């Protein structure tokens, strides 16, 4: 770390100040010095009209023996080395392409902007993209001041043409969870981006070898499976397809870490890890509701408390989107042949009625939007 020191008091400061808080002498810059984290704690700071925003305070020790307390914007672990510079060293700024205008695409755009990246956001409809942009702006304003929000949105470009992606370092596909549309957009993106650009899919369960059929360079394609909402969920499943280059997998891992996420490498098997384990649980929760064992609220409360989960399975299904849940289950059932993955009749009925969960306002529960702050 580097910091500033008072020439009169010899007090060092690990944060940006111009004058000493004790004697008002002008501070002098100290030479750069890497430091090691000795202890770290996560803090969530509430503020009126804004969401709780987590940050991390780390006790560090520099190579010359100085101890400092540093505020971090990303999670860190004991033993991590913080490169020279006040606070966390700025990660490489990338130009990130985001494909789609739905819930996950919005979350990914928000995440990338909040972490300082440039975002090229493409979709079929500029009208829908502009509507999604407004929602992202509202989300950013819950954790940023006006100037920060304006600066973040200044790094965002909307386009209904894939040609806008030509200068991207990485493109993340987050469109509908169907094989043919994903294949089509992957091929269209590959035709316009540079050969150095990494193309990633955010698929929840579809086979990467099928998505990448027909690609000219399948070695630069892999899976970055973020979870909803990607701004808060720390896990990212790093999925290597049959042709994914080791350097591409390493880039995806480091990229996920730079976003404050925990990357976990998984094989490209049906459902990867989380959805393969989760879907039977959601299905059994629906079966329990169908059988009249307990109402939805009671089922969720019992599972939440009994298994120490942050939310119940039916509320989680509503958050994921019941159409997405059914799509994942259908794919897993087809590929595994296990009845545990066959979507329950109530699930299919709710989807057929357009009751998809939070995004439509009703699923297993009725979801009212939060009041607009004024």
Q: Please report which residue ranges of the chain form alpha helices under DSSP H.
A: 103-114, 126-141, 146-153, 179-190, 208-211, 246-258, 274-290, 296-306, 313-320, 322-336, 345-352
Cα radius of gyration (the chain): 23
Q: Are 110 and 117 in contact (CB under 8 A)?
A: no
Pick the closest to residue 124 from 107, 102, 139 (CA basis).
102
Distance CA 344, CA 264 (A): 30
The catalytic site residues sit at: 204, 225, 237, 275
Distance CA 79, CA 37 (A): 5
- 3-state DSSP call for residue 11? coil
Q: Are 117 and 167 in contact (CB under 8 A)?
A: no
Q: Are 313 and 279 in contact (CB under 8 A)?
A: no
């Amino acid at each position: 770390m580097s910091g500033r020191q008072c020439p009169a008091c010899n007090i060092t400061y690990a944060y940006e100040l111009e004058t000493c808080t004790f004697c008002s002498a002008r501070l002098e810059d100290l030479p750069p010095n890497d430091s090691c984290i000795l202890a770290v704690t996560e803090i969530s700071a509430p503020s009126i009209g804004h969401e709780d925003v987590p940050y991390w305070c780390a006790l560090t020790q520099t190579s010359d023996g100085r101890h400092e307390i540093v505020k971090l914007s990303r999670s860190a672990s004991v033993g991590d080395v913080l490169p020279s510079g006040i606070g966390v060293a700025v990660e490489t700024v990338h130009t990130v392409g985001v494909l789609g205008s739905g819930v996950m695409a919005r979350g990914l755009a928000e995440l990338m902007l909040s972490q300082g990246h440039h975002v090229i956001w493409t979709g079929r409809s500029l009208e829908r993209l502009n509507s999604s942009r407004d929602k992202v702006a509202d989300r950013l304003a819950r954790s940023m001041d006006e100037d920060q929000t304006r600066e973040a949105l200044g790094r965002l470009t909307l386009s209904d043409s894939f040609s806008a992606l030509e200068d991207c370092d990485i493109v993340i596909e987050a469109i509908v969870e169907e094989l043919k549309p994903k294949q089509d957009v992957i091929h269209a993106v590959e035709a316009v981006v540079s050969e150095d650009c990494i193309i990633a899919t955010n698929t929840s369960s579809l086979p990467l070898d099928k998505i990448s059929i027909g690609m000219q360079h399948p070695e630069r394609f892999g899976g970055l499976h973020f979870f909803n909402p990607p701004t808060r969920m720390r896990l990212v499943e790093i999925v290597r397809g049959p042709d994914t280059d080791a350097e591409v997998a390493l880039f995806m891992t480091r990229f996920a870490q730079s976003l404050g996420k925990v990357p976990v490498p998984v094989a490209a098997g049906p459902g990867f890890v989380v959805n393969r384990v989760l879907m039977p649980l959601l299905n059994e929760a629906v079966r329990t509701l169908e059988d009249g064992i307990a109402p939805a609220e009671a089922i969720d409360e019992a599972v939440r408390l009994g298994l120490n989960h942050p939310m119940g399975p039916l509320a989680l299904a509503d958050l994921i989107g019941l159409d997405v849940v059914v799509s994942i289950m259908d794919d897993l059932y087809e590929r595994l042949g296990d009845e545990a993955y066959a979507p329950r009749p109530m699930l299919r009925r709710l989807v057929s009625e357009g009751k998809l969960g939070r995004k439509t306002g009703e699923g297993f529960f009725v979801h009212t939007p939060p009041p607009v702050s004024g």
